[in-house]
Amino acid sequence: MRYVIIGAGVAGISAVEAIRSVDNTGEIVMISDDPNGYYSRPGLAYYLTGEIHDTALFPRNKADFQKLNFNFLRGRVTHILRKDHALIIDGKSRLAYDKLLIAVGARALPLEIPGSNVEGIVKLDHLVDAKNIVKMAKWGRSAVVVGGGITALELTEGLRARGMKVHYLLRGDRYWSNVLDKYESEVVEKRLEEEGVILHHHSELKEIFSKRGHVSEVELQDGKKIKCDMLAFAVGIRPCLELIQDTGLATDRGILVNEHLQTTDPDIFSAGDVAQAFDPLTGKSILDSLWDPAREQGRVAGLNMAGRRTAYLKSAAFNVTRLAGLTTTIIGVVGRGRDEDMIGIARGDSETWRELPEAIVAQSGFDINHMRLLIGDSHLVGAILMGDQTLSWPLQKMIASKADISPIRERLMEPNAKIADLIAQFWMSWRKQTAL
């Protein structure tokens, strides 16, 4: 049996591990044209700020990979020949497969603004981009950041940490308005301003100007001009579907897969950012761009490829990130609508965060410690924690398990309720009951 995996990200590596847990003798071949192979995409934010060296982005060493006993091919798959069960690599060599996993991820949407084809315009898609940004970022120079979500903030904080004067453009009246509430946006923006970031609300790019082929200035829709040495953008990502355009595999915004991460071809699977997986919670096929779902999808796909039938049960969307230096956990469904600063889904985002049912909001805290809960009829449907993360794990478990919070529901919604204490007390009793 030959298993072939296209893509060297977390979904691909997780699939290799899962296959090896079932099949010790089958041949595994991984193909990728990423010069850096497998590394931690979430760690790029900390590399940008200078908090970690690029070597810390690689969680596995050569010995770890040798234990998994798979072959790695550097190259780009140019065609999938379904009838022949074969791939064409770099337009010439041919490789047969018995089971195939497509885990090619997603790429940043382009910035479609007049003048955007000059040097000095950067994105944060992968490690090559991050190294390019670090090389270009110079102390005292000026940068403009455009976009929304987590990646735009990573760019903003990374450039500021490297001594650049940063202008952050926001189309609307606040940051990440479709996930954060007004208070949470204000907390992030206040901290950015304290770091020296210049925020521009209700601002949108009109045109980019250059000198000697390098960005020098941007003009906004209102006519205002900002001089800059760099323009960084994060306006969304799009699953990489080019490889399967002529394969006949079913797609929507991503590659459509069933609960076994199987495409419309029973021998081809897909996982990670490129896969649009069925979510039983909403009854829809959902795009995620989160590390944990990609890893879990890769695991489930690998098991199914090796013959161990396993369903992918999407848990509550969960992400721990850092917003303006503040550790923030987002669980379940917490917002609604689309972000004005984004064209599509962002990295570190999940569409399920905005599939908001009828829910009541309870929140407490101020300054750097804040909690917001979304309360359904009898269970929690979402939560945001900023600062203190003590209740992050309990809330994740309770939301994922749809714990019945009826005993404390009314108390959670009382004015000035100490919701952290109520949740902590409930967690202790609920955990004992479920253990029994």
pLDDT for the residue 358 = 47
Bridge partners for 71 per DSSP:
29
Number of neighbouring beta carbons within 10 Å of residue 408: 17
Which is more confidently placed, 342 or 389? 389
- Cβ atoms of residues 152 and 341 within 8 Å: yes
CATH classification number, 2-107+238-305, choose in 3.30.2000.10, 3.90.1170.50, 3.30.70.1070, 3.50.50.60: 3.50.50.60
Mean pLDDT estimate for the chain: 91
**Whole-structure pTM value:** 0.90
Residues across the chain: 436
User: How far is residue 204 from each of residues 123, 208, 341, measured CA to CA in Å?
Assistant: 17, 12, 9
Highest mean pLDDT among 24-28, 178-182, 432-436 belongs to: 24-28
Of the options 3.40.50.1000, 3.30.365.10, 3.30.390.30, 3.40.50.460, the CATH number for the domain spanning 318-435: 3.30.390.30
Residue 114 is encoded by which pair of tokens?
Answer: 């007049």
The arrangement of secondary structure in 110-235, i.e. its CATH architecture, is 3-Layer(bba) Sandwich (3.50)
Please state the domain extents for the chain: 2-107+238-305, 110-235, 318-435
Q: Is the pLDDT of residue 341 over 80?
A: no
Whether 110-235 and 2-107+238-305 are alike in CATH topology: the answer is yes
Q: What is the C-alpha to C-alpha distance for residues 344 and 164, in angstroms, rounded to an integer?
A: 28
Instruction: Give me the pLDDT at residue 367, please.
Output: 56
With a pLDDT cut of 70, the percent of the chain lying above it is 92
Share of the chain above pLDDT 90, in %: 77
Of 43-47, 60-64, 90-94, 340-344, the one with minimum mean pLDDT is 340-344
Amino acid present at 373: L
280 against 353, higher pLDDT: 280
User: C-alpha distances in angstroms, 175 versus 146, 148, 189, 398, 417?
Assistant: 11, 7, 7, 28, 27
User: What average pLDDT does this structure show over 31-45?
Assistant: 94
- Sheet containing 27-32: give its strands across: 71-74, 27-32, 2-6, 99-102, 268-270
pLDDT at 420 over 50: yes
- Residue 353's pLDDT is 46
SS3 category, 188:
helix
**pLDDT for res 343:** 55
Instruction: State the Cα–Cα distance between residues 386 and 276, nearest whole angstrom.
Output: 29
By C-alpha distance, which of 291, 385, 396 is closest to 347? 291
pLDDT grade for 250, boundaries at 50, 70 and 90: very high
Q: What is the mean predicted confidence (pLDDT) over 105-114?
A: 95
